[in-house]
Structures are given as structure tokens and as C-alpha cells.
Amino acid sequence: MTQTPVFRSVAVATPLADRCAADPRLRMRRDGELRGASVVYWMQRSQRARDNAALDFAIETADALGLPVHVFFAPVPFFPRANLRAYDFLFRGVPDLAREVRARGASFVFRVFPDHDLAAFAREVQAALVVGDENPLRETEAWRQEAARRLAVPFVTVDADVVVPTACFPKQEFAARTLRPKHRALLDTFLAAPTTPRRARVAAKAPPPSLDPDAAAVPEAWRIDRSVPPVRSVPSGPVAARAALDAFLAERLTGYAETRNRPDLDACSRLSAYLHFGHLGPAEVARAVRAADAPQADREAFLEELLVRRELAINFAARNPDYDRLQGCPAWALRTLDAHRRDPRPFLYDAATLRDARTHDPLWNAAQREMTRSGRMHGYCRMYWAKKLLEWTPSPEAAFEIATDLNDARQLDGRDPNGYAGIAWAIGGLHDRPWFERPVFGAVRYMNAAGAARKFDVDAYVRRVDALPQP
Ligand code: FAD
């Protein structure tokens, strides 16, 4: 039987390997002696200075060693499936990020590709330790493994973008109902786990950046996909993220249990892009929602999404190497989809028709336009949108590919475990159960426009989308 790691509070003076063994948030990537002139935090996914267990760990360790902390932030133009829309959002968040990091007493070193070499930077500042954050996606995990090979100093990563660490669930969870009780049993331990909002004790003299953080903009020279325009109407960065959280708590948390499936009202939190870019940590959001003056049913409905569904998606991406392909879906769903492979499709659309929202279905077209214009699609529509791709494309494989391509290119929160799990749920029955057999879908759950019309005012949703500004 696999043992669930138990969290123990261990003194900073304890050897690094023992600290990592005692705390499932920490992963020792490279051990060694802590000898040098600074501690480096290689910030990647957790783009914030508050509620960031990786930054806290770097500061605590640096304080114990009497060393300064350098936060090394080094965007590269080859983040998998990222394009101008995603990079623009990332760069617009940098000025506030830099200010907040410096307020913690660390330096913020903004070294943009081609000046992004972590191992070279660690040598430059004589790092005694490099700390990283975690991202379970294939390529980003490979970058961390490569860093462990190339660095000559100890390297520890911290699972800072979940509440209950991914390591606590060593196998792929079958469904929300299998994760929920285990998650609930550990939740209070990690929500209560101390964070250290204090400043680093030793002042850091900032090494030169390659770009002024206050003038951060996607470099013209970067060879990236520029076909999807930025969405400037959505403000970026940790300050904007906290304002979005405050607005949700004040205006929309009350009623969330009822309104979250109403795309016409658009009453959800709209926090997913901030969570994706790490401008907000999930623990800060969860604590704020727990403490909010809103009915318990609304707080619980929201925490189910933020904690159980989101961390179920992260478990899927971390434990299933095929998380972004149809093969990653459960065997029962693959069998039933295969049995219906040759069923006639009621409509067949190519990728360009779908991209340009030119199908026969006003609801689907509106959902696609919402994503193209605003960089987000309402959660209910995402389910409907992906189910229709299964129905209107030649094969489940094609549906999966078109869904991931469109979702990752157009949603500000794309390229995320939530997206891959959501698509696998809609097309491949992930975290779901078999339903009644029907054409094309087999036993995979079906959705149709009549069901949507029973839940919300479809015409009002279409009107809301049509009023959105063009990006
Ligand atoms: P709220 O309803 O306010 O929920 C709060 C937070 O809980 C969200 O920000 C998100 O982090 C989490 N959450 C909510 N619903 C889910 C869910 N079903 N699964 C996992 N976490 C959830 N989410 C993304 O972050 N990125 C994606 O690319 C993405 N693509 C999706 C594609 C499909 C086909 C489907 C069915 C779902 C997808 N989701 C994705 C999940 C979900 O639809 C969005 O997280 C949610 O709509 C974001 O809006 P919100 O922040 O207002 O959500």
C-alpha cells in the first residue's frame, strides 16, 4: 500500500534532505552542501510574492544561512502552446510582480530569453541553493529535470500552486468522489500551514536585469505565434488578481451555488487566468472564501471547484502521461467511443469553420466568440462546446486535438491541467461514469442545446457575448 506523506513542521536548521522528506510540498531535485553567497528562487508558475510557499521557503532558508534572496524570472518564447495572447498577459503582470517581490526584501531579476539561463545565473550570484516551483505539465516538468542536471548546487522545488500537495495523492484518482474524502482529511493541515509573509533579513543587491520590469512587453524579436490578439480589457498581475478576488467576494459569491451554471449572468469568479499564471495562490483564495460573509452553500460550492475539481485536474496531469491526448481517457470510454467511430455525424465541420464560429448552432458559435473576444468562456459553455466538437468532427481523436488547440490558443487560462482534464471529461469520460448508449458518444455523457435552454436564457447569453469588445 502506498503511504500518504504526512506533514511535519521541521526546523529550518534541519538538513535540507530531512526537511524535504518531512514536508510533501518539497521535492529534493539535487542534494548537496549549502555553500555560497545567495539563495535563488527560480520563479515560473507562482508569479506572486504573497501566499507563495516557494518564495517563503527561499526566504526562510536564506535567513537561516544569513544570505540574500534573488528571484530569477526568465520568460522564454517556447512555453508549450503559448502565443501572443498568453505572453502579453504574462508581461503585463510583471511591473506589479517586481514591486511585490522587492517588498519582501528579495531582488527581482528579470532576464528575458535569450538571457534566461538558470545555471549561468546561479554561478553569477554564487547560489548556495536554487528553489523552484512546480508545474506538472510534461514540458515544464522536463525543464525542472534539466535544471537539476545542469545546476551544480542543491535544487528544491515547492508545490506552491495547490493547497493539498500533489505528492499526497501518488496515484491517478478515479473521480472527484475518490479524491474528496482524502483531500478533506488533509485540507485543514495545509490551509493552516504557516506561511511567512516576512521580509528577507539580508538585503539583496539586484544583479542587472535584461529588461526593465516596469517596461515589460513581449519582445518584438521573439518568434512566437502572433495570430491571436491580446485581451487588454483583462488587467494582469497580482494586484489585479486580488482586486478580482475582492470583487467576487463582494458581488458574486452570494448566490454562486445557483448562478454558477448561468452563462447569461456570468456570475462566476473569473479567477482562472490569475490562478493559471500564479498571480493568486489557491490557499489565499480558499481562506478568503471560508471567511467571507456569504451563505455556507455558496462557499462550499465554490470551494468544491477551487479545491476538489482543480486539484483533481492537477492529479490527472501529474499522474497520467497522456493527459492531453485521447489515450489518457479511461478504458471504458475509449472502448465505447471506438465502437461508435463509424456512426454518421449530424454535422461535420473543419477546424477553420469551428475556429471562426461558423456552425449552424448559435449557442456554440457564441461560446467560441466569447473565448476569441474575451480570452475566457463560461464554464457551463466549455462543457457544451467540447461535447459538440465530439459530435461534429470525424473522430474522437480529431475532436480532442481541435479542442486542445482552440482552448490553449484562445483562453487566457489555457495550457493548464484544468483544460486538459475538462476536455478529457467532455470527450473521453474522464472522472465520469458511463451513461446511456447513443450515437457517436456511445456511453459518454451527452449534452444538447435543449438542456442548455432549460438551465439559462440562451438568447441573453448570445446578446452578452455580442456586446463584448473585440480584442
Ligand atoms: P469558477 O466557477 O469561479 O471556479 C473557481 C475556480 O475553480 C476556477 O478559477 C478554477 O481554477 C477552478 N475550477 C472551476 N471549475 C473547474 C473544473 N471543472 N475543473 C477544474 N477546476 C475548476 N479551466 C482552466 O483553468 N483552464 C482551462 O483551459 C480550462 N478549460 C476547460 C475546458 C473544458 C472543455 C472544460 C469542460 C472545462 C475547462 N476548465 C478550464 C475548467 C472550468 O471551466 C474553468 O476553470 C472555469 O470555467 C473558470 O472560470 P472561473 O474562474 O470563473 O470559475
Question: CA 329, CA 323: separation in Å to the nearest integer?
Answer: 8
**CA 57, CA 64: separation in Å to the nearest integer?**
11
pLDDT in tens, 393-449: 999 999 999 999 999 999 999 999 999 999 999 999 999 999 999 999 999 999 999
Statement: residue 293 has pLDDT above 50: yes
Q: What band does 194 get if pLDDT is binned at 50, 70 and 90?
A: low
pLDDT for position 7: 61
Give residue 111's pLDDT.
97
CB 461 within 8 A of CB 264: yes
Question: What's the mean pLDDT in 253-269?
Answer: 96
CA 317 – CA 311 distance, rounded (Å): 10
Tell me how far apart the alpha carbons of residues 310 and 303 are, in angstroms, rounded to a whole number. Answer: 10
Average pLDDT of span 226-242: 97
Under the banding of pLDDT at 50, 70 and 90, the label for residue 6 is: low
Asked if residue 254 has pLDDT above 60, the reply is yes
Which residues contact residue 304 at a Cβ distance below 8 angstroms, ignoring those fewer than 6 apart? none
| Ligand 1 atom closest to Cα of residue 313 | 20
Ligand 1 binding pocket mutation candidate from 81, 179, 272 (most atoms within 8 A of CB) = 272
**Is residue 66 pLDDT above 60, yes or no?**
yes
Report pLDDT for 463: 98
Q: Do the Cβ atoms of 453 and 364 come closer than 8 Å?
A: no
Mean pLDDT calculated for residue range 443-461:
97
The rounded Å distance from CA 285 to ligand 1 centre is 15
**What does the pLDDT read at residue 26?**
97
pLDDT over 90 for what percent of the chain? Answer: 94
In angstroms, the CA 291 to CA 289 distance is 5
Per-residue pLDDT of 75-84, as tens digits, reads: 999 999 999 9
Three-state SS at 237: coil
Q: Which atom of ligand 1 is nearest to the CA of 248?
A: 3
Q: Measured in angstroms, how far is the CA atom of residue 37 from the centroid of ligand 1?
A: 42
pLDDT of residue 8: 63
Of ligand 1's listed atoms, the one at least distance from the Cα of 411 is: 28
Q: Confirm if 380 and 267 have CB atoms less than 8 A apart.
A: no
Q: State how far the Cα of 26 lies from the Cα of 167, in Å rounded to an integer.
A: 9
Pocket of ligand 1 (CB under 6 A): 260, 268-272, 275-276, 305-306, 309-310, 313, 379, 382-383, 386, 407, 411, 413-414, 416, 418-419, 422-423, 425-426
Assess whether pLDDT exceeds 70 at residue 129.
yes
Q: Looking at the predicted structure, is the pLDDT value of residue 11 above 80?
A: no
pLDDT tens column, 160-171: 999 999 999 999
* Closest Cα to atom 31 of ligand 1: 419
- Would you state the pLDDT for residue 379? 97
Mean pLDDT of the chain: 95
pLDDT band at 1 (very low <50, low <70, confident <90, very high): very low
- Nearest Cα neighbor of 163 from 145, 179, 174 is 179
Q: Could you read off the pLDDT of 332-347 as tens digits, one per residue?
A: 999 999 999 999 999 9
pLDDT, mean of residues 210-227? 96
Q: What is the mean pLDDT of residues 450-467?
A: 97
Global pTM reads 0.97
Section 110-127 average pLDDT? 97
pLDDT for position 471: 87
Residue 196: its pLDDT value, please? 56
Q: Whose CA is nearest to atom 15 of ligand 1?
A: 305
Q: For residue 127, what is the DSSP state?
A: E
Nearest Cα to 30, choosing from 156, 121, 144? 156
Residues contacting residue 330 through CB under 8 Å, at least 6 positions apart? 428, 429, 430
Q: How far is the CA of 84 from the centre of ligand 1 (A)?
A: 22
Return the pLDDT at 3: 45
